[in-house]
A = this chain, B = another copy of it.
Amino acid sequence: MQWLLYFDLFGVFVFALSGGFDGAKYRLDLFGILVLALATSLGGGIMRDAILGAHPPAAFTNETYFFTAIAAGLIAFFFANRVERHMEFVRIADAIGLGAFAAIGAAAAVRHELGWVGVVLMSILTATGGGVLRDLLVREIPMILRADFYASAAIVGGLTYMVLHYEGVPEGYCMAIAAASASVSRFLAMHYNLNLPQARN
Chain B residue nearest in CB terms to A21: B199
Count identical subunits in the complex: 3
Taking a contact as CB atoms under 8 Å apart, the answer to whether B118 and A32 are in contact is no
19 new A-B contacts, CB < 8 A, other than A60-B121, A61-B114, A137-B145, are A27-B201, A28-B145, A28-B146, A29-B148, A29-B197, A29-B198, A31-B151, A35-B144, A50-B50, A50-B51, A52-B55, A52-B56, A59-B121, A63-B115, A63-B117, A76-B199, A80-B199, A81-B199, A139-B141
B residues less than 8 Å from A32 (CB atoms): 144-146
Number of residues on chain A facing chain B (CB within 8 A)? 68
Known contacts A145-B28, A199-B33: A60-B109 contact under CB 8 Å: yes
Chain B residue nearest in CB terms to A125: B46
A residues apposed to B, CB below 8 Å? 23-36, 38, 42, 46, 49-53, 55-57, 59-61, 63, 66, 76-78, 80-81, 109, 112, 114-118, 120-122, 124, 132, 136-139, 141-142, 144-146, 148-152, 195-201
